[in-house]
Amino acid sequence: MHLALDRAAARRTPHLTNPIAPTEENLMAGVKLFKGDCAGCHGDANNAAKREAEGILYPSPPVFALHPPSKPDNQLFWIIKGGVRYSGTFWWEGSFGKDASGKDISDENIWTAVTFLKHIDSLPPAVALETRRQKLEIGNSKMENRNSTLESQKPDGDLKVAATNFKGDGLKSAPYNTC
């Protein structure tokens, strides 16, 4: 399937230029989009190896924390925007709705996610830390650990992590399952 997708993307993708610069602010926005809309299927920095080993989805979606995408930006944009038929990869076109002025912000969000994915293996320290920040779901509220920083690694290999200062955000349901 990947060969067919690669060929289709190379043949059908318009030659577009990514309008989102890889600034720390844009990469941070990309992390938040990825964690909220993509990590459920593609895994994140905290569960990448486990997600890949489980293989619970067929076909298995790429785990970008382990295998950063090598496709050009315009091809990633085309794949995310249109989805991948018969794979469980949903399309994002129109899924983010409109801003206050009535402009559909889907393309901007897709480009932001593409920018993050293209730099996933070379993120600035603050953005890399955000990719490892834990989210915990408790009852009907989503709790985010705001201080999930790696403090030290003991000689025996155990990790010591600070886990304080939780903030509840409430659950939001998306109109599409946007993996």
CATH of the domain at 64: 1.10.760.10
Phi–psi pair at 144, nearest 5 degrees: -115, 130
Statement: residue 17 has pLDDT above 80: yes
Give the chain's mean pLDDT.
76
For the cut 70, the answer to whether the pLDDT of residue 25 exceeds it is yes
Residue 178, in any domain of the structure: no
Residue-level pLDDT at 151: 35
Q: What's the mean pLDDT in 97-114?
A: 87
The answer on 102 and 51 residing in a single domain is: yes
Indicate if 113 and 169 belong to the same structural domain.
no
3-class state of residue 46 by DSSP: coil
**Mean pLDDT within 96-125:** 90
Beta strands 141-145 and 135-138, pairing class: antiparallel
> Does 128 map to a domain?
no
Q: Render pLDDT for 39-87 as a digit per residue (tens, 0 to 9).
A: 988 999 888 899 889 888 888 889 999 999 999 999 999 999 988 888 8
Name the residue among 123, 129, 126 with its Cα closest to residue 150: 129
Whether 122 shows a pLDDT value over 50: the answer reads: yes
User: Are residues 97 and 169 located together in one domain of the fold?
Assistant: no
Q: Give the per-residue pLDDT at 161.
A: 34
Distance CA 138, CA 168 (A): 9
**Does residue 89 share a domain with residue 152?**
no
Same structural domain, 104 and 157: no
Does the residue 161 lie in any domain?
Answer: yes
Whether pLDDT at 157 is above 60: no
**Containing structural domain, residue 90:** 2-123
User: Do 168 and 84 belong to one domain?
Assistant: no
Is residue 71 included in any domain, yes or no?
yes
Among residues 173, 30, 177, the alpha carbon closest in space to that of 108 is found at 30
